[in-house]
Structure 1
Amino acid sequence: MKPTEEPKALVLGFDPPCGHWTAALALARTAGVLGIRVDLHDALGYTSELSNHVMRAVYRKVLLRMPMVWDSAYRRPAKKGVAGPATSMAAWDRIFRPSFERLARRLPKYRVVICTQAYAAHTVLRATELMPLSSPRPKVYGVATDLVPHAAWDLPGLHALFVTHKDWQLIPMRIPRIEAGIPIHPRFAEVCAEPKTAFLPPDADSRLRILLCGGSLGLGPMLELVECIVRKRMPVVLDVLCGSNKPLGNAVRRLNTPHTPVSALHVDPDGEQAPYYRRADLYLGKAGGISVAEAMACGLPLILAFLLPGQERLNMERLQALGCSRFAENIEQACRHLADWIANPQAREAAAAISKQWGRSDASYRIWQNILAETPLEGFHAGELPEKLGAAASVSPEA
Structure 2
Amino acid sequence: MAKRFLLVTEEWAGSGHRMAAEALQEVLLEMEGARSARVVGGLKTASPGLRVLSHFFYRNILRYGQPVWQRIYEQEEMLGSALTKVLGWWLSDRLTNQLLQEEKPDVVIATHAYCLSALAEAKRRVSKPFRLVCVPTDFHINRFWVHPEIDAYMVAHEQIAQMLIERYGIAPEKIHVYGIPVRPAFTTALHTDKAALKKQLGLVPDQFTVLIGGGEGGYGGMEQVVRELLLEEQPLQIVVVTGKNTSLYRRLAGLIGTESTEHRFLLKGFEPQMWQWIGAADVYITKPGGISCAESLALKTPLILFHPLPGQEKHNCSFLLEQQAAILAETPVEIKEIIRSWRQPEKKDAFVRGLDKLGRPEAAHRIAHALLQLTD
Q: Kindly provide the amino acid, as one letter, of the partner of residue 242 in structure 1.
A: T
Shift of residue 299 of structure 1? 0.5
Question: What TM-score does the superposition give when structure 1 sets the normalisation length?
Answer: 0.73
Q: Which moved more, 1:151-160 or 1:177-186?
A: 151-160
Q: 2:253 maps to which residue?
A: 253
**Distance across 1 between alignment mates of 2:326 and 2:48:** 35
CA deviations on 1:47-104 (whole Å, 9 max, x unpaired) are 46869xxxxxxxxxxxxxxxxxxxxxxx8775869x9998598777777743541333
Paired residue secondary structure (1:248): helix
Q: Kindly provide the amino acid, as one letter, of the partner of residue 174 in structure 1.
A: I
1:105 to 2:105 alignment: no
Which consecutive unaligned segments of at least 5 residues does structure 2 have? 10-16, 62-68, 74-79
Q: Assess, with a 3 A threshold, how the Cα gap between structure 1 residues 214 and 160 changes in structure 2: closer, same or farther.
A: same
Paired residue secondary structure (2:209): strand
Richer in helix (by share): 2
Q: Kindly provide the amino acid, as one letter, of the partner of residue 180 in structure 1.
A: Y
Shift of residue 289 of structure 1? 1.3
Q: Kindly provide the amino acid, as one letter, of the partner of residue 298 in structure 2.
A: A
CA deviations on 1:294-329 (whole Å, 9 max, x unpaired) are 001110111111111232222222222222321112
Q: 1:12 maps to which residue?
A: 7
1:240 to 2:240 alignment: yes
1:181 to 2:179 alignment: yes
**Distance across 2 between alignment mates of 1:360 and 1:370:** 15
Q: Work out which of the residue numbers 123, 128, 153 in structure 2 matches 1:128.
A: 123
Q: 2:350 maps to which residue?
A: 350
Kindly report which structure 2 residues correspond to 1:167-206, keeping only aligned pairs within 5 A, or say none: 167-171=159-163, 172=166, 173-175=169-171, 176-201=174-199, 202=202, 204-206=204-206
| Contact 1:46-1:78 at 8 Å conserved across structures | no
| Contact 1:233-1:260 at 8 Å conserved across structures | no
Q: Assess, with a 3 A threshold, how the Cα gap between structure 1 residues 220 and 212 changes in structure 2: closer, same or farther.
A: closer
| Contact 2:241-2:271 at 8 Å conserved across structures | no
Paired residue secondary structure (2:355): helix
**Distance across 2 between alignment mates of 1:27 and 1:356:** 26
Kindly report which structure 2 residues correspond to 1:373-388, keeping only aligned pairs within 5 A, or say none: 373-376=373-376
Q: 2:14 maps to which residue?
A: none
Q: Kindly provide the amino acid, as one letter, of the partner of residue 158 in structure 1.
A: I
**Distance across 1 between alignment mates of 2:90 and 2:107:** 24
Q: Kindly provide the amino acid, as one letter, of the partner of residue 269 in structure 2.
A: H
**Distance across 2 between alignment mates of 1:274 and 1:252:** 23
Kindly report which structure 2 residues correspond to 1:22-101, keeping only aligned pairs within 5 A, or say none: 22-23=24-25, 25-30=26-31, 33-40=35-42, 47=49, 97-98=93-94, 100-101=96-97
Q: Assess, with a 3 A threshold, how the Cα gap between structure 1 residues 216 and 332 changes in structure 2: closer, same or farther.
A: farther
Q: Kindly provide the amino acid, as one letter, of the partner of residue 133 in structure 2.
A: Y
Q: Kindly provide the amino acid, as one letter, of the partner of residue 340 in structure 1.
A: S
Q: 2:13 maps to which residue?
A: none
Q: 2:76 maps to which residue?
A: none
**Distance across 1 between alignment mates of 2:255 and 2:233:** 12
Q: 1:313 maps to which residue?
A: 314
Shift of residue 178 of structure 1? 0.7
Paired residue secondary structure (1:249): helix
Identity of matched residues, %: 22
**Distance across 2 between alignment mates of 1:302 and 1:39:** 30
Which consecutive unaligned segments of at least 5 residues does structure 1 have? 1-6, 52-74, 377-399
Q: 1:142 maps to which residue?
A: 134
| Contact 1:281-1:300 at 8 Å conserved across structures | yes
Backbone CA RMSD of aligned residues: 3.4
Paired residue secondary structure (1:358): coil
CA deviations on 1:316-355 (whole Å, 9 max, x unpaired) are 222222223211123333233233333x432222111112
**Distance across 2 between alignment mates of 1:8 and 1:98:** 23
Shift of residue 43 of structure 1? 8.1
Q: Assess, with a 3 A threshold, how the Cα gap between structure 1 residues 203 and 308 changes in structure 2: closer, same or farther.
A: closer
Question: What TM-score does the superposition give when structure 2 sets the normalisation length?
Answer: 0.77
Shift of residue 203 of structure 1? 5.3
| Contact 2:46-2:95 at 8 Å conserved across structures | no
Q: 1:156 maps to which residue?
A: 148
Q: 2:64 maps to which residue?
A: none
CA deviations on 1:281-301 (whole Å, 9 max, x unpaired) are 111111111111100111011
Q: Which moved more, 1:285-294 or 1:226-235?
A: 226-235
**Distance across 1 between alignment mates of 2:271 and 2:294:** 18
Q: Kindly provide the amino acid, as one letter, of the partner of residue 371 in structure 2.
A: I
**Distance across 2 between alignment mates of 1:226 and 1:251:** 11
CA deviations on 1:104-150 (whole Å, 9 max, x unpaired) are 33244x53433333454223323434522xx1x11111113222443
